[in-house]
Every structure is written in C-alpha cells, then in structure tokens.
Amino acid sequence: MSVNDIPSDGDLGGDRSLVQAIMHARLPLIFTDPTAANNPIVFANHAFCALTGYAADEVLGRNCRFLQGADTTRQSVTAVRDIIATRRVDTVEILNYRKDGATFLNSLQIGPIFDTDGALVYFFGSQLDITARRQAEDAARELAEQELMHRLRNIVNVMAVTIRATAREVADKSEMTNLLIERLSALGTAQIEAIRRPRGEAARVRELAQSIVGAYAPRGTPQFDLHGPDLALPAALISPVTLALHELATNSVKHGAMGSDAGRVTLEWDKTRGADGTTIRFVWRERGGPKVVAPVRTSGSTIVRNLAAASGGKIAFDWRESGLVVTGEFPL
C-alpha cells in the first residue's frame, strides 16, 4: 500500500487488511495533511476516538490544536511546532484535553510521511496516555523525599543525643573529640547500611550484628557467638541498634570480656508478642573477662538508653560480677 492511497475523507482505502489493522490498533493514531490549509486531521482510528472522547466526524478536518487547553504549556506547543517545521520524528509530552474537559498527559510522537518522489504528504501522530505513570512517578518521588526527611530528622536526633552525652562524660576536649569521632563513625556506618538498601528493604539482624561486633572483636569470630532467628530490622531501628552494639562492643574491648584472652560475648535475639505489640528482644552477655564493677560515669549506657527510648524501646544494664548482661527491647 502506498501512502498516496490515504485520501482526505478519513478512509485509508487501498489495502483493506492494513486499513483494518490501523483502524483497530490499540495505539491511538491520526494522520494530518500538511499540503492542505491548517494541516487538518484526515484520519483518526478507533483508539484515538476512545482516548479523546470525540467521534471521528468531530475530528476530521480540524487541526490538532483543539486538544489543547488552558493548562497546556507554551513550551510543549513550541516543541510540537518545531518537530513539524523540521520534519523529523520525535516525541513531546503535552497536556491535552478530552471532549468532556478532563486532561491527560500525552506522550505524543510526530513524524513525516513522504511519497516515492520524496514529497511530504502526511504527518502521523501517535498518542500515549502517560497520566497514571506520571502520577505513580510523582507519588514515588514524594514518598522518597518524605523518607529522606524522616531519616535526616532521625540522624540529627541521634547525633544530638550522642553529642550531649559525650560532652557530659568527659571534660578533656581531645578525649571528647575522639569519642565523638568513634560514635559518629558508627552512626555513619548505620546510615550507609540503611541507604544502600532498596527503599523499604529491612536489614537482617544477623548480618548487622556480625559486621559490627566482628569489627571490634580483637580475636575475631571465636570471641563472640550470635544466636537468633532470621529477623528483619526496620530502617528506623538500624541507627539505634547499630550505635547500641557499637557502645557495647567498644566497652567490652576496653573494660570487659573482649579485652581478655578468655573472654567471650554472646548476643541473642528473638521476636516476642505481647499486650503492647510485637518487639525484638536482644540479650548481650559477657563472660570470662575481668571482674565487673559498675562504672561511676555511665555515658555509654546513658547514650544506649536514650537512643532506645527515642525509638520507643528500652534497655537495662545488669553489672554482674561475672559479666555484664544487657537486655534491650525495640518495637517492630
């Protein structure tokens, strides 16, 4: 079939099988005649009529501008004119209006059709309603922005708790600086762990505990045991749990079991259900280290308690002579 078979009455004529295929195709499609005044529509298939709400006899003979409206941007109209003027195949997103006045975002592809002598005889225009897709993209972007703001607020709150507690713990500026660097580095590790995961994906408790406790154990994995089911840790709990494990591990290396050749640490966790909902329960046990004496200054434990409380959880320290035992619960 030649493009010359397309007459201006809206009937493609010629090869009837191709005519029927184009007429019944799911893709909305029109042809316009640039050789006639005002480049009118000369063919519109059923899908175009269904998309716009216009019958074929309401469309034929009109310029495509009738689909534009008050909120159609000047930039998109200029882009359409430029594609037509340069006779190229290109796509532009333009806000169009249906017959009932409802809008739709149209991914409009335009291109020229030349006859066998190279003369321009038609333009085709295919339409794709991308309104739902764009709305989904906008909703996803808004959700991501809200999640980012929530994370930033959490980071600032955790940093504030950490800085205040560290400042109360030590008067020496050099010592306070070193402690802050350690603690904020642990916070950075927690945030990297949260950010590198796809949105909504939780961290696995075992992976998190292995990476944190293992990093501090002087003699590696023989010094600690991890026991618990394969549980997911929501993003909101990654920072407080990471910093709690950091404080417990550094304290153990400096003053407790992991600082002793015979010392060991066991971390257990499980999910429990009670009247207040579902929680994840952690138990940190030390043994084989030096005799335990409750510290006079408890900045580290204070930080852990404050972070747990900020997340709706709670932590208890039991300074047993045989080894420190710490129990924590966080809501899921």
pLDDT single digits (tens) 3-51: 444 443 444 445 567 777 888 889 999 999 999 999 999 999 999 999 9
Quick one: average pLDDT of 283-296? Answer: 85
Q: What percent of the chain has pLDDT over 70?
A: 80
For residue 157, the model assigns a pLDDT of: 65
CATH number belonging to domain 134-331: 3.30.565.10
**Cα gap 202→238, rounded to integer Å:** 9
Give span(s): CATH 3.30.565.10, the chain. Answer: 134-331
For residue 14, the model assigns a pLDDT of: 52
For residue 276, the model assigns a pLDDT of: 75
Cross-strand bridge partners of residue 279: 272, 331
**Cα gap 199→329, rounded to integer Å:** 25
* Whole-number average pLDDT of the chain: 82
For residue 324, the model assigns a pLDDT of: 92
pLDDT single digits (tens) 168-215: 666 778 877 877 777 677 667 666 665 565 555 557 888 888 887 877
Please give the CATH superfamily to which domain 3-129 belongs.
PAS domain (3.30.450.20)
As to burial, measured by CB atoms within 10 angstroms (0-12 exposed, 13-18 middle, 19+ buried), residue 138 is: exposed
pTM attached to this predicted model: 0.52
Give span(s): CATH 3.30.450.20, the chain. Answer: 3-129
